[in-house]
Amino acid sequence: MRFIIATRKGGLDDFVSQSFGRAPTFTIVDVDENRNITNVQVVQNSSYSAPRGAGIQAAQFCIDEGADVVIAGQFGPNSSQVLQAAGIRFVSAPPTMTVEQAVHAYLRGELTQPILGAEGRGMGRGMGRGMRRGRGGW
């Protein structure tokens, strides 16, 4: 079974990142049929600083890497749709949990639900982003 966990610096002792798409790294953990960790790899998240679509790009990375389970603090609506459409299970873990703890908690059935975050913080229509470019209010 292949896990991909959103992490800050990566590795089994690192903590689960609260953000999926904007996590700095992903820790890939392979587990055998006896629930033993057989391989650990840390990969930089190339969509970490993407201006938009980070969650979708991160979800596509998980698909490309053959993930069975993805773990993060929370998932945005777009990334959750992509993961769900691909048949990849995704669950949330608290930020106080290490990667190793999260993998074992999932295997024990303790992590079962994802936390879905709000839509991304895009450009929006705040000051200067609308029709009047911030000149004159109401």
Q: What is the mean pLDDT of each run of 10 residues along the chain (138 residues)?
A: 98 97 97 97 92 92 98 95 97 97 98 80 48 49
Q: Residue 135 falls within a domain, yes or no?
A: no
Tokens of 131: 């029709």
User: What's 75's domain CATH number?
Assistant: 3.30.420.130
138 lies in some domain: no
pLDDT at 137: 47
By C-alpha distance, which of 101, 98, 120 is closest to 110?
101
User: Hunting for tokens 């993930």 — which residue is that?
Assistant: 67
Report yes or no on 6 lying in a domain: yes
Alpha-carbon distance 84 to 78, whole Å? 10
List residues bridging with 2 in a β-sheet: 30
pLDDT at site 17: 97
In this prediction, residue 76 carries a pLDDT of 93
Number of domains composing the chain? 1
The answer to whether position 128 is within a domain reads no
Domain with 87, as residue range(s), is 2-107
Quote the pLDDT of residue 138: 44
pTM across the whole model: 0.84
Residue 103 lies in a domain: yes
Phi and psi at 111, nearest 5°, equal -110, 115
> Is residue 84, in this structure, part of any structural domain at all?
yes
The token duo for 96 is 């106080």
pLDDT at residue 113, as a whole number: 94
Q: What is the pLDDT of residue 125?
A: 47
Site of tokens 């998932």: 75
Measured N-to-C along each axis, helices 54-64 and 77-85 cross at an angle, to the nearest 10 degrees, of 20
In a domain, 114, yes or no: no
Residue 135, burial from CB neighbour count under 10 angstroms (0-12, 13-18, 19+): exposed
